[in-house]
C-alpha cells in the first residue's frame, strides 16, 4: 500500500480556534481523522504530523526518503520563508502536493511567494480542509493510476 506523509507547519496545531474566518473551525485532529478514513478508501497508508519547528519539518522530509511514497505539505508560514524546507523537498523522489487552507494569492503580497511551489508536483489552495482530501485523491490517481482511473 503506498504511504503518504502529510506534514503541517507552524500554528496549524491551532486550527479550529485560529482565525476561523480564514481557516474555518475544523481542527487538525478532525482533518487527520478524515484523511485516515479517505486513505482507507483509496488504499493509501496515511500519516499526519505537525510541527512548529522548521528543523523538525526538514528532518521529517529527509526521513520520508525511503519511508514514504508521497508527501502532502502545508508548510504554513515557512512556505514563504524556508529555503531549507524547499531544499529538503527537492531531494524527495516521490510526488509532493502543496496545500494551503486559504487562497494565499488573495491575501497579503508576502504570502504570494512560495518556496515550496517550484519543487511541488501540484498546489491546492483556497478550499479549506477539503484541500488535504483533494491532495490525497490526486496522489491516489498518480500512485496507482489503474485503480484510481487517473494517470498524471
Residues that bind ligand DQA (CB under 6 A): 11, 74, 76-77, 79, 100-102, 104, 111
Contacts of 11-15 with CB under 8 Å at 24 or more apart are 11/52, 11/76, 11/77, 12/50, 12/74, 12/76, 13/50, 13/52, 15/101
151: region left, alpha or beta (phi > 0 left; psi from -120 to 50 alpha): left
| Environment class of 14 (CB within 10 Å of its CB; exposed 0-12, middle 13-18, buried 19+) | middle
Residue 60, number of CB atoms within 10 A of its CB = 19
Among this protein's residues, is 23 annotated catalytic? Answer: yes
Distance CA(94)–CA(120), nearest Å, equals 10
Q: Indicate which residue of 53, 78, 100, 112 is catalytic.
A: 100
Residue closer to ligand DQA by CB (options 48, 101) is: 101
Residue closer to ligand DQA by CB (options 1, 22) is: 22
Residue 133, number of CB atoms within 10 A of its CB = 19
In whole angstroms, the minimum distance from the beta carbon of 100 to ligand DQA comes to 4
In whole angstroms, the minimum distance from the beta carbon of 41 to ligand DQA comes to 24
Among this protein's residues, is 100 annotated catalytic? Answer: yes
Q: Indicate which residue of 23, 78, 115, 132 is catalytic.
A: 23
Residue closer to ligand DQA by CB (options 8, 92) is: 8
In whole angstroms, the minimum distance from the beta carbon of 116 to ligand DQA comes to 10
In whole angstroms, the minimum distance from the beta carbon of 12 to ligand DQA comes to 6
Residue closer to ligand DQA by CB (options 3, 111) is: 111
- Residues identified as active-site: 23, 100
Amino acid at each position: 500500500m503506498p504511504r503518504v506523509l502529510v506534514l503541517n507547519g507552524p500554528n496549524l496545531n491551532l486550527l479550529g480556534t485560529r482565525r476561523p474566518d480564514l481557516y474555518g473551525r475544523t481542527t487538525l485532529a478532525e482533518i487527520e481523522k478524515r484523511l485516515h478514513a479517505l486513505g482507507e478508501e483509496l488504499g493509501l497508508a496515511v500519516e499526519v504530523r505537525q510541527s512548529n519547528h522548521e528543523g523538525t519539518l526538514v528532518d521529517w522530509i529527509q526521513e520520508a526518503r525511503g519511508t514514504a511514497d508521497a508527501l502532502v505539505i502545508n508548510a504554513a508560514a515557512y512556505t514563504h520563508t524556508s529555503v531549507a524546507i524547499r531544499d529538503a523537498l527537492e531531494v524527495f523522489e516521490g510526488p509532493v502536493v502543496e496545500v494551503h487552507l486559504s487562497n494565499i494569492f488573495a491575501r497579503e503580497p508576502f504570502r504570494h511567494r512560495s518556496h515550496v511551489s517550484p519543487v511541488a508536483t501540484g498546489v491546492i489552495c483556497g478550499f479549506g480542509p477539503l484541500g488535504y482530501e483533494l491532495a490525497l485523491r490526486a496522489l491516489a490517481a498518480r500512485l496507482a493510476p489503474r485503480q484510481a482511473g487517473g494517470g498524471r
